[in-house]
Amino acid sequence: MSIVVSATDLTKRFGSFTAVDGISFEVLKGQCFGFLGPNGAGKTTTMHMITNFLPITQGALSVLGLEVMTNARVVKARIGVVPQENNLDTDLKVLENLLVYSRYHGIPLRQARGRAMELLSFFQLAEHARSPIEQLSGGMQRRLLIVRGLINEPELLILDEPTTGLDPQARHVIWQKLRQLQAQGVTLILTTHYMEEAEQLCDRLVIIDHGRILVEGTPRDLIRKHAGQEVIEVRLRPGEDRERCLETIGGTVPEGAEVECSADTLFIYSADAAKILTDLAIDPGRTILHRRATLEDVFLRLTGRELRE
Amino acid sequence: MRERAGPRQPVMARRSSRLLPDLTWRAVTVWYRDARVWTTFYKASVIGNLGEPLLYLLAMGWGLGRMVGTVDGVPYIQFLAPGLVCSTAMYAATFECTFGAFTRMTRQHTYNAILATPVSLDEIVAGEILWGATKGFLSGAAMLLVMALFGLVTSLWALLALALSFLIGLLFSALSMIVTAKSPSYDFFSYYFTLAIAPMFLFSGIFFPVGNLPQWAQTVAWFLPLTHGVSASRDLFAGEVGWRIASDTLWLVVFFLASFIVAVREIRKRMVL
């Protein structure tokens, strides 16, 4: 399979601050590739380098086989960008936004109009073609941003947090449309901090933090490798710490399991949680939760539980 | 061994290495965007552009003109009006490329949106300046129309004042883009208007001949771009087309090109981190 994006030792510094610190990755054609990370991890900066919005400080980055910085126009003509910030043109109505944007891409008007209407109906926005932007809901504006990113029939679509701030209905519509696009052969790169989104959409993903890639793999492999099959959450009682709690419920860390403790919860990661549960002497009245391991467990184990603001 | 994506040398600071702007026809698409927006709001804009110079013409031309009588051998209103063509073009272009461009750049993130397409940042700057110049042209045209109604257009050369309005528009749009690139907020523009635009309006020979000023002030006035615009405009309306118009026009063109190159560099500095 051909390589759509290839980054080697990609680095971005702003003055003395290193936002992206020597990352390497490859995105294959037809894949949906995810960048997961807490706020400030370097996701958006990486997207900005791929779309040539920001110059690269160091390293090599090729998109569609072309070195981005020396082929900016060609690359931009062949990729679609859905930015995190809503930069729809509020001076123009919905359809006008798309027609003016087509001009930037050099698409002839008649062709642009056809393509715009087609995409608007695909994203269930056709009846809003003549609406001002402010009259659209958040979900509709986000869909319009995706439509705009697709107006030049890109081979690669880059989505920076495409569903942040949307309600579940709006989010599911976008997921469904993105899966359809992928089925049509469009390669997708997306950033998100919704684990569910990554599990739903991504074939492969990297978890990045402090500008570095921590792990890379398929969602399923990452879960198996870093969080096991199942998780037991044991809520701590007031004043209790990790050792006291373990003592109360059975003594030591169960064999074959890993234990982690946050402020008020003990997490036991294990392949066979049912057995551990029967072995533990859970005292009556204590809150426990037995569930399947998710990408969120992987994420929190790798990036830590402290707040990022 | 994996295939490398390209050379691994650092590719830093490429943005500043290019002195001349990176321009293609795509700059026109940015002009088109602004023009399309304007067609939806143009009524308010035309009234604004026409209203002020018309008021000046009435107040100064009629009111003050009655006391002044003639200047340089022509009635005061006829002396005044050609200069107002220039100042109205200057104001229209300046508003467009300060408040307007700043809003698009920082508030509406229009530039960011365009930068995801094959249009370059330099073309965005060029498109904005072209549009600012178009606004200057439209204002100049409106003023010319008013003058014709007042019976102040006596030479066919005056039609070239339209081209002059466009050139003045280009120049002041380019200057404004430099200010916009440097501006941290809207407040900054009031300094520019007070310290640069207003003195130009008052001392570039619109209301009285520059020759009335003391020698040192005449020298200062020579460095004000509007002085050359007003001089050229006055010659056109008088039908006196000669070397002076040629040198004034050349002065404006050179000043515009220099400002444009600086504007492109300053916007790059601001937008490309």
What is the domain partition of chain A in residue ranges?
A: 3-216, 229-292
Cβ separation A14–B115 shorter than 8 A: no
Q: pLDDT tens across B51-78, in order?
A: 877 888 888 878 888 888 889 889 999 9
- Spell out the residues 6+ positions from residue B159 whose beta carbon is closer than 8 angstroms to its own: B144
- Shortest distance, CA B19 to any CA of chain A (angstroms): 16
- Shortest distance, CA B146 to any CA of chain A (angstroms): 30
Alpha carbons within 13 A on the beta-carbon side of B128: 35
- Evaluate whether A163 touches A145 at the Cβ level (below 8 Å): no
Architecture of domain A3-216: 3-Layer(aba) Sandwich (3.40)
pTM of the model: 0.89
Q: pLDDT tens across A149-167, in order?
A: 999 999 999 999 999 888 8
Question: What pLDDT score does B17 carry?
Answer: 55
The yes-or-no verdict on residue A235 having pLDDT over 90 is no
Q: pLDDT tens across B11-40, in order?
A: 444 444 567 888 999 999 999 999 999 988
Cβ separation B36–A100 shorter than 8 A: yes
Residue B5 banded pLDDT, cuts 50, 70, 90: very low
Question: What pLDDT score does B3 carry?
Answer: 41
Question: What pLDDT score does A251 carry?
Answer: 60
A114 burial type by CB count under 10 A (0-12 exposed, 13-18 middle, 19+ buried): exposed
Residue among B10, B33, B110 whose CB faces A57 most closely: B10
Question: What pLDDT score does B6 carry?
Answer: 41
The span from the CA of A6 to the CA of A28, in Å, is 9
Mean pLDDT of A216-239: 85
Residue closest to B170 by CA, chosen among B258, B233, B50, B56: B258
Chain A interface residues facing chain B, Cβ-Cβ under 8 Å? 6-9, 14, 51, 53-62, 67, 69, 72-74, 76-77, 81, 83, 85-92, 96, 100-101, 103-106, 149, 152
Cβ separation A103–B10 shorter than 8 A: no
Q: Degrees (nearest 5) of the Cα angle B140, B131, B202?
A: 45
B169 burial type by CB count under 10 A (0-12 exposed, 13-18 middle, 19+ buried): buried
